[in-house]
Amino acid sequence: MDKEFKALRIREENGEYKREIVSRKIEDLPEGEVLIRVRYSSLNYKDALSVSGNKGVSRNYPHTPGIDAAGVVEESSSDQFKVGDKVIVTSYDLGMNTDGGFSDYIRVPANWVVALPKELSFRDAMIYGTAGFTAALSVYKLLASGQTPEMGPVVVTGALGGVGSIAISILSSLGFEVTAATFDATGDEEVLKELGASNRISKDITDDQSRRPLLRPLWAGAIDVIGGNTLHTLLKACKPMGSVTCCGNVGSGDLPMTVYPFILNGISLIGIDSQNCPMELRQKVWDKLAAEWNVYKHKEQVIESTLEELDTYIDLMLQKKSKGRVIVKL
């Protein structure tokens, strides 16, 4: 097949990274058992890093970002999938060092591909995407650790972002009291209430600068996307026997702290790796997102972008000013 198609390409030029929409051919795509016609993708922070030349995400350029894709199988040499199957690809190496979903076509290994649950459309699948999957996996592991609504409020950082907003909706639907942690203490009150947050706190509360090893307990658990001192604060102000999940490092990848929250208060720190999550668990979490956890209350405010319009939203994300979800219609 030598069909031409459209893709966003990032090229390196004298140390700068240029974005352009180009025409490519199927033969240009990497090897893989499954060729997919992409219908929708979505914008994630990792995509913004790839676009800006972050070598910790994408080593080689020119490159097509897009760690999420939902579409239809057009060719398959795998017994797992046939032409016409509706599928999702998120995580693994897609959009990092393998050409990703900001393109009309992707070609990937069969073991990266998830069958699209019947209850989800392509669009809704990408409203969730890696962000939604990460939020759901965080909730899943929080529950598995023994966290219950009766223990008290759960804090969600980055509450207006993709992971945070979806995590709030899921936790709220499960009966948890959710505290939304945002950079500022005001604004977007109606949005947070609609998502299911009971109250909000600002960076002043979740970024303690006292250097004390433990704080007065303020919450029973947390889902964190920030890392660094914010994660430290969440751990040292957590009630005994609570759990805190960590799925991001928007603020920092460092975690300078003592062991006291763990050995004196029995706090559990749970790492969330959505990129290499085992397929059995991945499918289970997607099935939950398609059914009882399909509760995101912000869908009507999702921004739908074309490839040509994506520049604006990438820049907002890099400036840490993005809110909610941006999906890309191919």
pLDDT of residue 300: 65
Please give the domain boundaries of the chain with CATH numbers for all domains.
Answer: 4-116+301-329 (3.90.180.10), 130-271 (3.40.50.720)
CB-based contact 155:221 (threshold 8 Å): yes
Query: How many Å apart are CA 3 and CA 73, to the nearest integer?
Result: 15
What letters, b where the CB count within 10 A reaches 16 and e where it falls short, cover 260-292?
Answer: ebeeebebbbbebebeebeeeebeebbbbbbee
Give the Cβ contact number of residue 298 at 10 Å. 19
Residue type, 228: G
The pLDDT averaged over each successive group of 10 residues in the chain (330 residues) is: 88 90 95 97 92 91 96 96 96 93 97 94 93 95 97 95 91 97 78 91 92 96 96 98 94 92 97 91 94 81 90 87 84
pLDDT of residue 185: 64
- Of residues 165, 170, 167, the one with CA closest to residue 191: 165
Predicted model pTM:
0.88
Q: Is the peptide bond before 261 cis (omega within 30 degrees of 0)?
A: no
